[in-house]
Structure 1
């Protein structure tokens, strides 16, 4: 890419403090945390031309709706830390097997360990069905490129098998017959605990929004760094992803088709949100987890 393009599109990690809350651990207490130290991780870039016509309406998990508790039992909340007891940052993820979680590579970047919260709905409440697993087995895609945000996927090995129930379950990934599926025009749902506005607070409860999967040409018209190994969606009424939603699942029907990757600065109204396309990384996911493609 030429220099002028790089000057317009600089991927930046955003770290914004979470409200002070105390989370009770149902298992062995892991670390004493000052939750004011935690931040929300997200990559944003500038569109190729901020003065160009925007997609309208736009999106962010801003104007999302609260899902019924445990309606999305594969959704997980993750606190990443560089070292035990250190401050950290929050991201989303999805349970893909009883042992492995799928998330974004940019969430894993610089992390030495992860605390994975399963079976949660309200992250500021002491929910008795919640499980917290701490692990140091974090694998980001080796070809993840923070400059153009390619290959933004990673997996977390929980180092133990999780008992599945109505609060905790696995999500289905695309099958071998879906490898060439683009999902254009399909309705898809993205969920997370991220910020509810570009300048607002994170959500205590799990929120979701629905959007339409756009054609690759439309996605690339907004950000020229867009690759065919990515996917973008446009909300139906000003909804979409924001800080803290990184790594979370984009689902069409009951199949996860994307992993939250990047969007515009401050979750600007009128622009789509971007995801790593799961079908492009099935081989890598299989090689780095115990997931079996159907």
Structure 2
């Protein structure tokens, strides 16, 4: 089976020159599949991206704030970006605490990114101005270099985003939602995806609780009890083309595989 028929990236694209960034998603009710509504300030690191591409194409993705100037997202979200509007600190998607627009976005895509297989699906974004520091806007911690070999197999983790609720939803959500499930081992994940790499991390989606279209680039987070802090361990990358609610694992880019590269690009690094 060709990889393009086996998986699908989790962004949504809207065609037509009459649609602007702020028009995207009015009057829709989709969201992360089977998720719960986020509370105010629950995910202060969550960022929404309205991405403009050539030929009046627009898409929506998620991202994670890792410092006052830098974010992590999926490379497939921003590889064609000509402008990006950043939505920070909001639960309702179109009413953020801070709105930043860049018509010349600073995007660093991993040099090994493969748009066909979605290998190395990670990118660093630099904001054109500092993110406001407040209860609703805070960076998330990255795992330390000393944790780079940690697999996080079978620990609980949380994914969040404004993606669709299910495969029948026509578009993305106005409200931020989240799901908390267990990380699967890569060995288990390989039963569903032949292309799983050590640079991927997978989440169980039993009960149809999953990331879905519109969640790409968003965070997968583990609460480390030893430090009592949230750690960004994954970036939403792809799922089965057959649907978000079929029980197939969600696939993320494994953040620990890229800590050195992230540090080189952004200066954000933990020991």
Task: Name 1:77's counterpart in structure 2.
Answer: 48
Could you say if the C-alpha distance between residues 13 and 197 of structure 1 is closer, same or farther in structure 2, counting changes exceeding 3 Å? closer
Give the superposition deviation at 1:233: 0.7
Structure 1 counterpart SS, 2:136 = coil
- From 191, 213, 216, the equivalent of 1:243 is 213
1:228 matches 2:198 = yes
Q: 2:24 aligns with which of 35, 43, 56?
A: 35
| Structure number, greater radius of gyration | 1
1:137 aligned partner = 106
Distance 1:32 1:264 in 2: 27
Distance 1:79 1:289 in 2: 22
Aligned Cα root-mean-square deviation (Å): 2.5
Pairwise CA distance, 1:16: 5.1
The CA distance in 2 between the partners of 1:32 and 1:229, in whole Å, is 32
Q: Distance in 2 between matches of 1:215 and 1:271?
A: 13
Q: Secondary structure, in 3 states, of the residue corresponding to 1:81?
A: strand
Following superposition of structure 1 onto structure 2, how do residues 1-294 of structure 1 map, counting pairs within 5 Å? 4-6=1-3, 9=6, 15=12, 17=14, 33-35=22-24, 61-82=32-53, 86-124=56-94, 126=95, 129-134=97-102, 135-200=104-169, 201-253=171-223, 254-265=230-241, 266-294=243-271
**8 A Cα contact 1:10 1:147, kept in partner:** no
Q: How many residues align structurally? A: 255
Tell me if the contact between 1:11 and 1:147 (Cα under 8 Å) persists in the aligned partners: no
Distance 2:11 2:58 in 1: 13
> Deviations along 1:50-82, whole A, 9 cap, x unmatched?
xxxxxxxxxx92110001112100000001113
